[in-house]
């Protein structure tokens, strides 16, 4: 509750001119989202992708944020902070799944939390694809570990689904499809 209050206060304090948080690529992305009907854009992203990348789940994420916030940049930033904070919790859970003691797991999560906070992945809208990829990669890891611990086949298939979602979030998420086999 305290973290959410700080996030709300930060969003209010930093609510200045509408493009304050956004990079030029973010502005281009938002204008592209606004230029096409949502279903046509979603289909185009899954069918062919963007000219420079293939990130359909990231595009759907941006579309949802654009529907929620329009051009209000602090809203995008707040969601990036929430996603980054949730990924921090997943880092802690993965560390505990790998049998690290809670102080070491908490240290790993703390380093994850504070290291990338000031950089592009959290600050700019377009780079939230990294946050989504990290989320699905960590979920895939947790589910693969659960499969190894229990032997339940459904955990394995869910892990592969998480890995696939990581690939659809950002191209470098392809490593997530290899992790269940490696484990």
In this predicted structure, what is the pLDDT of residue 90? 93
- What CA–CA distance (Å, rounded) separates 16 from 10? 11
Residue 40: closest CA among 63, 66, 71: 63
Count of CA atoms in the C-beta half-sphere (13 A) of 41: 19
The pLDDT tens digits of the residues spanning 93-117 come to 999 998 999 999 988 888 887 775 5
In this predicted structure, what is the pLDDT of residue 13? 47
The pLDDT tens digits of the residues spanning 123-159 come to 666 678 888 988 999 999 899 889 988 988 899 899 8
8 A C-beta contact, residue 140 and residue 166: yes
In this predicted structure, what is the pLDDT of residue 60? 83
3-state class (DSSP) for residue 75: helix
Q: Is pLDDT larger for residue 86 or for residue 32?
A: 86
Return left, alpha or beta for 151; rule: phi > 0 is left, psi -120 to 50 is alpha, else beta. left
Residue 31: closest CA among 66, 78, 64: 66
Mean pLDDT score of the chain: 76
């Amino acid at each position: 509750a305290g973290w959410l209050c700080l996030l709300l206060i930060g969003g209010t304090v930093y609510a200045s001119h509408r493009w304050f948080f956004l990079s030029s690529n973010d502005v281009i992305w938002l204008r592209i989202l606004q230029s096409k009907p949502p279903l046509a854009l979603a289909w185009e992203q899954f069918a062919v992708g963007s000219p420079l990348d293939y990130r359909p789940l990231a595009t759907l994420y941006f579309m949802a944020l654009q529907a929620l916030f329009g051009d209000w940049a602090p809203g995008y930033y707040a969601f990036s902070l929430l996603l980054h904070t949730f990924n921090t919790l997943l880092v802690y859970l993965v560390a505990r799944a790998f049998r690290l003691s809670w102080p070491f797991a908490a240290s790993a999560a703390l380093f994850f939390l504070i290291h990338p906070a000031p950089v592009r992945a959290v600050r700019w809208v377009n780079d939230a694809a990294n946050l989504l990829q990290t989320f699905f990669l960590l979920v895939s890891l947790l589910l693969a570990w659960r499969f190894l611990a229990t032997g339940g086949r459904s955990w394995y298939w869910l892990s592969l689904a998480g890995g696939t979602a990581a690939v659809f979030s950002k191209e470098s998420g392809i490593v997530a499809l290899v992790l269940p086999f490696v484990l």
